Structure 1
Amino acid sequence: MHVAGATGVVAEVRTPDGRARARAGDGNVVTRRSVPWRAHYRVGGVGRPFASVVALQLVGEGRLRLADPVERVLPGVVTGHGNDGTRITVADLLRHTSGLADYADQLPGARDLTPRAFEARRFTAYEPAELVRLAMARGPRWQPDPTAPVATKRWGYSRTNDLLVDLVIEKVTGRPVAREIHDRVIARLGLRHTFTAGTSAYLPRPAATGYTRFPGTDQLTDTSVFVPLPDTSVISTTGDVAEFFRALFDGRLLGDAERARLRETTAARDGWGGASGVRFGLGVYWRPVAGCDAGVWYHGGSSPGHVAAAGATDDGRRAVATAVTTWRPGSAQQRRQDEATSRLVDHALCDAR
């Protein structure tokens, strides 16, 4: 990963018997200090399974049904321009089979990937409901069939689904989603270095400097300080993330029935990492890997200055998390870095067993 161009990278593997860690590169390209072992980083999309766990726990408690139409839980929210909340279920949101437009594509300056545009927007904060309304101003990519078998459903990642899952959790519990994630996941597992940042633009120490090489530039821009979007606000360490991914599958967070639903997948042809045979369950990807009879479960995510990945074996005995402090959107170098990350995840979970 470092050879592929990452300024700094840290990774950790967790098993019932202990852990293994590795790091490479610099925590800061000026001071040349090493990447801290317990560096805090923005986990991006890797944090979405935290909310999926909360939703599935509510299902297990009988407070929410995966087959519930979104309109029943959030009346009047998914509507307009052909969007129909009566045809989209809670499971569609978690599985990204809703067909809803991605709010991120509608943000002001969404395609203006330049240092100047980043600087102008870095302290802009959005409310989830505001972003959902932005997505509803566009028609859906398709209309889902709520009666179709899971394996046949059409898939497409949309961050609007993530926001709606958060709103569903808040409507059902009457409490902020950040509090539910803390009480039901973070505190239960004793993840001492994990929290939701809200509208804070800063990372706690220790942390490595996050850099972005914007398209058309040869320079690295320090993009460590910015207000995250609501669905990507989890900050953690590789140790905590790896432990969460173990718990996701080993029974510490979900009952047998809920874990079975988590594993019900549909084909995800444009899944993270570019691997073949990728499928998506209720909040997490799956892909076949030689050496792992049950494949691996994983998720990736990127944000200015950070690229994260994590994965686990089907039984939760092994899990791995990686944090890279360089993001180069749309570049061949970024693709090579992502491919190296996928190889690390596969080796840590499969070859090393």
Structure 2
Amino acid sequence: MGALLSPTAARAAPEHAAVRQAMDEAVERGVPGVTAQVRDAHGRWDGTAGVADITTGRPRGADERYRIGSITKSFVATVMLQLEAEGKLGLDDTVERWLPGAVRGHGHDGRRVTLRQLLDHTSGIRNYLEDPVVQKRLTTKEFLDHRYETWPRERLLAAALNGPPDFAPGTGWHYSNTNYLLAGLVVERATGHPYAEEIDRRIIKRLGLRSTSLPGTDSRLPGPGARAYTRFGGGAGDTMYDITEFNPSWAGAAGEMISTSADLNRFITALLGGELLPPRQLKEMKTTVSAENEFPGERHGPGLIRKRLSCGTVVWGHDGGLHGSLSQVAATEDGRHSIAFNFNTDRAGDVGAVLDAEFCGRR
């Protein structure tokens, strides 16, 4: 493993011994490579472990772009809250108000679901990834034959509504990508622009995130970047497939974005530091509901996850996983200590161990 230190962070290197060890152990347990950046009171620390390419043995780099998956949700939710601050929508508006007739069928009713319930996953709307046809196409080897296929949002929404809701709105919690597919549509209806343009204008350009993008239907991963790998069966003995290129339209507003550890740290620091939202909206983002039924130790707010680590430390951020990539960004509540990192596989490693190592200082 190698570590790249900024001048101001050189003296901080010993303090990151635990996270260096956690990254090395992730590689020992089957992750091809890890790239990470920490920002704290000592400055910046960049660390890597393992390889970017299992064929050539090229090591992972500190400045690599990678697919951030559901961390995209934090960007979408931030835009929604900015629109609320501007008086263009309200989180207690119904989905029906913004998308008339869009959420109907098999017990789903957009007249009973609020925008807030979309953003904190209390809507009860079925996850389109749980539709058997969509699931088979996206999560088995069948995906290899369809990796460049464009998935219209209407098709994904129809798949979600092709079964009953998980629960009545506001009476439970279940992670559903459909919530953010709909949130992206609401942003477009409220602004008259694609949600990608709003994220680009309101966040990416504003913060100078030069390596962050929304690819739409573009299957390419801009360089510099690592190859991304998956085992569709999930077992250590299964074939490792290079899945670096694919059309991410099936993820859309729920998970299409590409970024780097440096850009993600800049984003989470700006968000928690109040650069992107007024105090009222930031407070709403930190208003959480329990996700213990699926993710022990977690509470979810609109686009933001509150995690209590093994040592009791609380961090805020989001994680993201999709074909060939597991990513995480997390920070203390004031944003002054943050980490962003990526595994270039979705089928090995423990991102929680890396978080614990950085914020708790032990394995």
TM-based fold match above 0.5: yes
**Structure 2 residue aligned with 1:98:** 123
Alignment of 1:225 with 2:221, yes or no, is no
1:7 aligned to 9, 12, 32, which one?
32
Give 5+ residue unaligned stretches, structure 2: 1-25
Structure 1 runs of 4+ aligned residues shifted over 4 Å read 290-293
**One-letter code aligned to 1:224:** T
**Counterpart mapping for 1:276-287 below 5 A:** 276-287=296-307
Query: What does residue 223 of structure 2 align with?
Result: 205
Amino acid at match of 2:49: A
Give the structure 2 partner of residue 318 of structure 1.
Answer: 337
Aligned to 2:257: 234
In structure 2, distance between residues paired with 1:238 and 1:179: 22
Distance 2:293 2:33 in 1: 27
SS at match of 1:6: coil
Q: Is the 8 A contact 1:14 1:243 kept in 2?
A: no
RMSD: 1.8
Structure 1 pair 158/4, CA: closer, same or farther in 2 (3 Å)? same
SS in 1 for 2:224: coil
Q: CA deviation at 1:350?
A: 5.0
Change (3 A) 1:139 1:114: closer
Partner of 1:23: 48
**1:142 and 2:167 matched:** yes
Question: 1:234-313 maps to which residues of 2 (within 5 A)?
Answer: 234-271=257-294, 274=295, 276-289=296-309, 295-313=314-332
When the two structures are aligned, how many residues end up with a matched partner? 331
Q: Contact 2:37–2:62 at 8 Å: present in 1 too?
A: no
Give me the TM-score of the superposition, normalised by structure 2: 0.87
Indicate if the aligned counterparts of 2:128 and 2:134 stay in contact, CA closer than 8 A: no
Provide the rounded CA distance (Å) in 2 between the counterparts of 1:253 and 1:350: 28
> 1:150 aligns to what?
none
When residues 111 and 192 of structure 1 are mapped into structure 2, their CA distance, relative to the original with a 3 A threshold, is: same
1:77 and 2:95 are equivalent in the alignment: no
Cα separation, 2, equivalents of 1:172 and 1:15: 37
Aligned residue among 342, 348, 352 for 2:352: 342
The verdict on how the C-alpha distance between 1:290 and 1:306 changes in structure 2, with shifts beyond 3 A counting, is closer
| CA deviation after TM superposition for structure 1 residue 16, in Å | 6.2
Counterpart residue number, 1:86? 111
User: Residue deviations 1:190-211, cap 9 Å, x none?
Assistant: 0000000100011011111111
Does structure 2 retain, via aligned residues, the 8 Å contact 1:243–1:319?
no
Q: 1:130: Cα distance to partner?
A: 2.7
What is the SS of the residue equivalent to 1:224? coil
- Give yes or no for contact 1:27–1:209 (8 Å, CA) kept in 2: yes
Q: For 1:184-195, list aligned pairs within 5 A.
A: 184-195=202-213
Query: What is the CA-CA distance between 1:55 and the residue it aligns to?
Result: 0.3
Contact 1:291 1:351 in 2 (8 A): no
Which residue of structure 1 aligns with residue 192 of structure 2?
Answer: 174
109 and 282 in structure 1: CA distance in 2 versus 1, 3 angstrom threshold: closer
**Which amino acid in the other structure matches residue 73 of structure 1?**
W
Q: Which amino acid aligns with 1:70?
A: V
Structure-2 separation of matches of 1:184 and 1:318: 24
CA distance in 1, matches of 2:129, 2:345: 21
Identity %: 37
Give, in whole Å, the separation in 2 of the partners of 1:232 and 1:67: 24
Task: Tell me by how many angstroms 1:18 deviates.
Answer: 2.8
Of stretches 228-237 and 47-56 in structure 1, the one that deviates more from structure 2 is: 228-237
> Could you tell me whether the CA contact under 8 Å between 2:226 and 2:344 is conserved in 1?
yes
**SS of equivalent to 2:172:** coil
1:61 aligns to 2:86 (yes or no): yes
How much has 1:186 moved relative to structure 2? 0.5
2-structure distance, mates of 1:114, 1:95: 29
Contact 1:299 1:311 in 2 (8 A): yes
Secondary structure of 1:320's aligned partner: strand
CA distance in 2, matches of 1:307, 1:171: 31
